[in-house]
Structure 1
């Protein structure tokens, strides 16, 4: 494909992450904003929003030649409003004889920059966020921290996180509890021998190997952990050759596992008792989102650790939020996963009810994808169900664990969770049908057996 040469002022279609192509204009970035390192990209202002971002050249297309094509494949209300904004811009430009106002005079641009500055200065009392260069907010290039990074747990989520840390130039030491083979899709992407373990894979990519969790912590300044459940998280810290044995004053420990508030509080206390600095940072996303470096990170605890992790969070996610004291991130994560798990069970129920009443499941999905509930999540999960593809992107056993923990949290707060409780029973049935290690969408099978 021929290279398209763009310049300041050109109208384009820009694709950002997993979002559909969106109309925008190539503009000059602020003087103190550097291009992301190693990327050929342009700074784009998107129409219909206040978003600006660096977009890779391969994700940009000229506006006019591709206008009809894009309008056919994107039908959302916000998208149409963005297209209308482009047309209004062109009409105004034509009336002005082809001249346009300087980007610096755009009040929306100044409003956006001000809002980001206020977040960095801590004026947003609700939460503070760090957003990556490939997210919907502006940011400079990711300069990797000079701190030594450790990572414990190379499962579905951890593997993608470590890969992105290495890609962005971080020095990483890894450890994994089991020596199971590399997940199939990671083998395919990197073309490694099937006998390679997760640790072998990342050593090939430049990581170092730690023999035990204690050794990793003792070798590193900041150690991340991402394991399956509260028991695994406790064992990793408190068990033989565990994290606690390697903690020294000033060492940082970041727990990324989705666990209950009680567990995260206990871990924070034992780490702090040894002089360590603690941050919880569970992530919202899936294996695919982790591989793409588009996770949403929810952090709470030691604010200085959060700031020290800035380049790591930018490498692994599209945005991160600081939510205050330890336990808040665990609570928020469980609420989010409770909603997602309940929604997935409802979608499966709808698909099977459509089939039971003689309706086309494909038509149901087509209608759903054109309505207000349309989303990448719905489309991917439904397509996988209809294809009988339940390869894990987020384990069913893990979403059921999250539902169970959320229900328990509701009990503690004396708050009813009847919808989550009903969904939890369906997932338990799916587990009884041997679906634990399949994707959460395999809850569908609980309705057909």
Structure 2
């Protein structure tokens, strides 16, 4: 848990000890309170309580960037009151800033330019020396900070501009019309008030890797009846303690459950799971349902669909977009295609594990879309790694580079996390490097099959292959930096 470029006045999520992340604001500490030694930290005042504390920078996250994720993963009346307090604070600052701008309209244009120039020079000088704004107080951020606060989503605040509302409505209507014309359906999977009404169907789950462990944990948390299986059985033990049942083979899980989901590493493993000894296919009979959540090529997905339906089973491909952390937080995005009725039957499961699910039509469409999305993700990661390598070779600060990127259009939780990995030289797996390289390879092959070249992805793929040669397969995808830095 870490955020880059924080300063006094920023709204954050702060984690203290065993308590869940809580919304707060970085403030100046009392003059008589000494800063603790060791890691860099900020003094945080928490909303909804009278608490305040020194919080290490690696236990802080940007409020706006991680808001949706934190609200989904933490519940309770006091927590909701704290979030409401933050939103009221933001609204009051936006209103104050708007009123201030209205007053400034009466100032002469020359006066405006002079004051603006002075303010810019003053702020630039203070930041260059690494000091917070001179008049920053405990309660309120300066107007420049208010501008940065409103760059994120402001819940409950209605902008006065009617033209903006009209444009948004027009875009929304256009998007709805396009969705209807292409038979694409999206379902908001975020549970209302943090609750899910679990299906009464018996759910099976095969594969407890980085993604599968988080998915199963959330299925159990939301009250589903789950039977689990994994190639290495000890990974099932924590879930058995939480009420899951154990299946001895994939065939047994399928035969005893109504809907069986799986999340496997690659096309070969996905086919072996279905067609191998005591595999999925042996447990399929009319009415049994199989949902493959692995990221594979469309040909593999189609082949699996055909063998499942040939036995009277129902099939849905449903690869997930996300990583280990999003899986644990129930914030995945599910792309599904195939049996529409089965997609509907999986509604409570998708709500438990994700924030949004999409139905994309016939089998193969979800695989194609997921490979395209991960091709973009992998190419972006390779570009970030290359940029940080260039900064190092050009004697430029990588920390400053991250701060600059975090203030612009590329700002995201993904960018922050991957860049922090690079800065700290720690590549604990969140999205395995070997898996993103596999997705790049499959996306390139998909392009080749329709005579479409993908030169950017091909270049990124070569860098990831080099990283694999450096024994980085089991590390996070951000370890591609090590290949760029050779």
- Number of the residue aligned with 2:433: 396
- Number of the residue aligned with 1:143: 197
Aligned positions of 1:296-307 closer than 5 A: 296-307=333-344
Q: Which protein is bigger by CA-based radius of gyration?
A: 2
Is 2:69–2:329's contact at 8 Å kept on the other side of the alignment?
no
Distance 1:87 1:71, change over 3 A: farther
Shift of 1:372: 1.2
- Counterpart CA distance in 2 for 1:57 and 1:203 is 35
- Number of the residue aligned with 2:67: 19
Q: 1:363 aligns to what SS in structure 2? A: helix
Is 1:427–1:446's contact at 8 Å kept on the other side of the alignment?
yes
- Counterpart CA distance in 2 for 1:140 and 1:394 is 26
- Number of the residue aligned with 2:319: 282
- Number of the residue aligned with 2:471: 434
- Counterpart CA distance in 2 for 1:414 and 1:156 is 34
- Counterpart CA distance in 2 for 1:198 and 1:276 is 28
RMSD of aligned Cα (Å): 3.4
Distance 1:21 1:301, change over 3 A: closer
Is 2:69–2:331's contact at 8 Å kept on the other side of the alignment?
no
- Counterpart CA distance in 2 for 1:17 and 1:352 is 26
Q: 2:85 aligns to what SS in structure 1? A: strand
Q: 1:215 aligns to what SS in structure 2? A: helix
- Number of the residue aligned with 1:227: 264
- Counterpart CA distance in 2 for 1:155 and 1:443 is 21
- Number of the residue aligned with 1:331: 368
Distance 1:123 1:88, change over 3 A: closer
Distance 1:2 1:299, change over 3 A: closer
- Which of 75, 79, 82 is the matching residue for 2:151? 79
1:178 counterpart = 2:232: yes
Is 1:391–1:439's contact at 8 Å kept on the other side of the alignment?
yes
- Counterpart CA distance in 1 for 2:261 and 2:142 is 41
1:128 counterpart = 2:185: yes
Is 1:21–1:70's contact at 8 Å kept on the other side of the alignment?
no
- Number of the residue aligned with 2:85: 61
- Counterpart CA distance in 2 for 1:16 and 1:363 is 21
1:169 counterpart = 2:257: no
Is 2:190–2:354's contact at 8 Å kept on the other side of the alignment?
no
Is 1:16–1:59's contact at 8 Å kept on the other side of the alignment?
no
Distance 1:74 1:399, change over 3 A: farther
Q: How many residues align?
A: 372
Is 1:249–1:274's contact at 8 Å kept on the other side of the alignment?
yes
1:208 counterpart = 2:245: yes
Shift of 1:59: 3.2
Shift of 1:126: 4.5
Is 1:130–1:314's contact at 8 Å kept on the other side of the alignment?
no
Distance 1:74 1:323, change over 3 A: farther
Is 2:299–2:364's contact at 8 Å kept on the other side of the alignment?
yes
Is 2:64–2:153's contact at 8 Å kept on the other side of the alignment?
no
Is 1:132–1:139's contact at 8 Å kept on the other side of the alignment?
no
Shift of 1:3: 5.7
Unaligned runs of 5+ in 2: 1-45, 50-62, 94-139
